[in-house]
Amino acid sequence: MAVMWPRELPVSIRQDRRRRAEVRVYDKLAAILDNSFTVFYSSPWLGTDHLGAEKDGECDFLVAHARLGYLAIEVKGGGISFDPEAAQWWSTDAQHFRHKIKDPVNQARSAKHELLKKLKASGRWRERFIHISHGVIFPDAAAPPRDLGTDRPARIFCCSRELADGLRQWIGRRLDEGRNPPACEPLGQDGLAAFTQILASPFQLHFSISAAMADAAEHMGVLEPTQFHILDHIANITRAEIRGGAGTGKTVIAAEEAMRLASSGRRTLLTCYSSPLAAELGRRLAGTENLTISSFHSVCGQLAARAGLAIGTAANDQQLFDELLPAVLIDAIELNPGGRWDAIVVDEGQDFLPTWWVALSAALVPNGTLRVMSDSNQRVYTTRCVPGADLELIPIRLKRNLRNTKAIHSAAQAHYEGPDIEPAGPEGHPVSWIPVATRQKLAEAAYTELRRLVYREEVAPSDIAILFPSADWFDPFKVAAARSNFDFMTCDDLTTDAVIIDTVRRFKGLERPAVILVVGPSDMVASEMAYVGMSRPRTYLAVLATEGDYDWLRPE
């Protein structure tokens, strides 16, 4: 495969109808040329005319070879025609509309000479006489029957049939492959290096992380609704458990199912363990009739208050949440059975204890609809798994990760054990593994990475979450960021424009385009912290840890 710049075309270019011809040529060049060729796509140049005035242009493709020289290519899609009397070129699109186009031969020839000037001006290349050429590709047009002029011989055109079966040979002929043009020296590796600096550097400098994030978001934005067909298949099933790993769309499905059930006239409860997740779901589905959205323990407290029941005194928070609140929910329902729901949808069901399911079952009308979304990671969630046999839940498995890029999915999968999950997103930016000398330096390093993302990579602060092992880390971080102009908020309000700082535990079930994960001492199990934290970002992940922690974070 040829060395391609850029390495991969952004989705926005692939989906641009005006660039379909260029995309076809890009893919064809990548496939038919070996790695001795370097191909630069959409390379802009700025030059001067004979009066010294600036002129700019673009070379659709520059094909460079260390021995053969280089070939400047212009691509024009659609049906092509040329009026020699008016010296006008035309393109006819699929809807049969004709468009005036620039002279593709002149564009390719100008690019060839302007790029030679740039090459000569480069300090990386020793000037010498090399072979340079130009050509035009018409992917949708038939080959011209004869030369179109003295400066437009038929041999410089590659048309539909030759593109399909003879593009490699056409490139070889344009570069005089197999012959030694008189007095020509090779372009050389220094020439390739010079072109890479001249033409590829803009991609490295300007295709920032924020641009990569936007591209990945566009790619994945169409994926999540593809899971909704599952809800159609289980519409007549009273009880079902939908299981999948992080990023498989469980929360999106839970929200969609709750909205569908409520819209059908059934009194519906959408609940979960996490208060921040419940708040975010409430924001997404605000105004939906017949729908109650609340965390499980808030539901217990609300129904107890409505029934006039005292919760009782707990020895500690764990007893309050694990025992007293679920018990008072059962008592409240017994006093007011009319308060039961026709349908209950539970998100993050792996966080529920067996006794909580007893309470929720009491809050559901006989033969009511129960939907449970739970994580399939057996390495992390073994003691709190949903008791499917008791609840008679029909199991449904999600197989595709629709949230994370492939790079992030791969990092999180090192801490996953369960049914296979296929990453459906784009490759994405590589995970940034940032080693920090000591744990005391982690908060400062997190602030440094935040500044880099915002000021160098142009990522919006509202797209970033910084996740810590516990709330004890907030103050040291705020001290490190004391002189900045950043605003910080917890995940209780994800509509904020501020940077989110919170714990991994509280951020479970939520997401942000970019996450800075700080790994250190935590009351969470190590594999749970890594799995949950690494799977929160959609498109960019930075992991900050000491060398000792990397031993288990990045298992070989």
Structure confidence by residue, pLDDT tens digits, 424-482: 888 888 999 999 999 999 999 999 999 999 988 889 999 999 999 999 999 999 999 99
pLDDT at 382: 63
Q: Residue 472 falls within a domain, yes or no?
A: yes
Q: Give per-residue burial for 218-241: e unless 16+ CB within 10 Å, then b.
A: ebbeebbeebeebbeebeeeebbb
Amino acid at 304: A
Q: 428 and 397 share a domain?
A: no
CA distance 175 to 497: 54
- pLDDT at position 489 over 70: yes
pLDDT beyond 80 at 51: no
345 — pLDDT class (breaks 50, 70, 90): very high
Confidence of residue 181 (pLDDT cuts 50, 70, 90): low
Please tell me the predicted confidence (pLDDT) of residue 205. Answer: 33
- The model carries a pTM of 0.63
Residue 150 corresponds to which tokens in the numbers above?
A: 């003295």
pLDDT band at 297 (very low <50, low <70, confident <90, very high): very high
The answer on 46 and 161 residing in a single domain is: yes
203 shares a domain with 232: no
359-391 per-position pLDDT tens digit: 999 999 999 999 999 998 887 776 555 555 678
Domain assignment present for residue 481? The answer is yes
Residue at 316 is within a domain: yes
pLDDT computed for residue 122 by the predictor: 85
Q: In the structure, what pLDDT confidence band is assigned to residue 219 with cuts at 50, 70 and 90?
A: low
Output the CA angle 121-122-125, nearest 5 degrees: 115
Q: Looking at the domain assignment, is residue 416 inside a domain? A: no
Residue 48's pLDDT is 44
Q: Which tens digit of pLDDT belongs to each residue from 116-153?
A: 988 998 888 888 999 999 999 999 988 888 888 888 89
Residue 384, judged by CB atoms within 10 A of its CB (0-12, 13-18, 19+), counts as middle
Mean pLDDT over 504-515 rounds to 94
Average pLDDT, the chain: 87
Query: Is 411 within the bounds of a domain?
Result: no
Judge if 203 and 233 occupy the same domain: no
* pLDDT (0 to 100) of residue 84: 79
334 and 232 within one domain? yes
pLDDT above 50 for 203: no
pLDDT-derived band of residue 29, with 50, 70 and 90 as boundaries? very high
**H-helix or E-strand containing 295?**
strand 291-295
Domain boundary among 370, 401, 432: 401
Q: Is the pLDDT of residue 206 over 50?
A: no
Question: Which residue segment(s) compose the domain that 41 sits in?
Answer: 3-207
- CB 56, CB 46: distance < 8 Å: yes
pLDDT at position 6: 84
| Shared domain check, 273 and 382 | yes
Question: Of 145, 173, 207, which marks where a domain is finished?
Answer: 207
* Nearest Cα to Cα of residue 43 among 75, 12, 16, 18: 75
**CATH number of the domain encompassing residue 444:** 3.40.50.300
DSSP letter (8 states) at residue 404 = S
Confidence (pLDDT) at 232: 86
Q: Is pLDDT of 234 > 60?
A: yes
Q: Are residues 150 and 67 in the same domain?
A: yes
Beta strand 268-272 with 432-435: parallel, antiparallel or unpaired?
unpaired
Does 87 have pLDDT greater than 90?
A: no
Give the residue with greater pLDDT, 174 vs 219: 174
Q: Are 290 and 267 in contact (CB under 8 A)?
A: yes
Q: Note the Cα 542 to chain centre separation in Å.
A: 14
Q: What are the two backbone dihedrals, phi and then psi, of residue 136, each rounded to the nearest 5 degrees?
A: -130, 135
Judgement on whether residues 59 and 186 belong to the same structural domain of the protein: yes
Q: What's the angle, vertex CA 13, arms to CA 88 and CA 113, rounded to 5?
A: 50
* Strand 88-92 to 98-101 pairing: antiparallel
Rounded to an integer, what distance in angstroms lies between the CA atom of residue 437 and that of residue 223? 40
Number of domains the chain is built from:
3
Report pLDDT for 10: 79
Whether 417 maps to a domain, the answer reads no
Residues 313-339: pLDDT tens digits? 888 988 999 999 999 999 999 999 999
Same-domain status, 318 and 431: no
pLDDT value of residue 495: 82
Which are the contacts of 351, defined by CB distance < 8 A and separation ≥ 6? Answer: 272, 273, 274, 384, 508
Same domain for 195 and 240?
no
Mean pLDDT of 489-518: 93
* 336 and 270 part of one domain: yes
pLDDT of residue 45: 44
Whether residue 23 lies inside any domain: the answer is: yes
Q: Is residue 162 part of a domain?
A: yes
Range 176-198 average pLDDT: 84
Residue written as token pair 């002929």: 173
Together in a domain, 119 and 246: no
Contacts for 113 with CB less than 8 Å, ≥ 6 apart: none
* Residue 141 CB neighbours (<10 A): 21
Of the pLDDT bands very low, low, confident and very high (cuts 50, 70, 90), residue 553 is confident
Question: From the centroid of its chain, how far is CA 84?
Answer: 48
- Judged by average pLDDT, the poorest of 123-137, 235-249, 372-386, 392-406 is 372-386
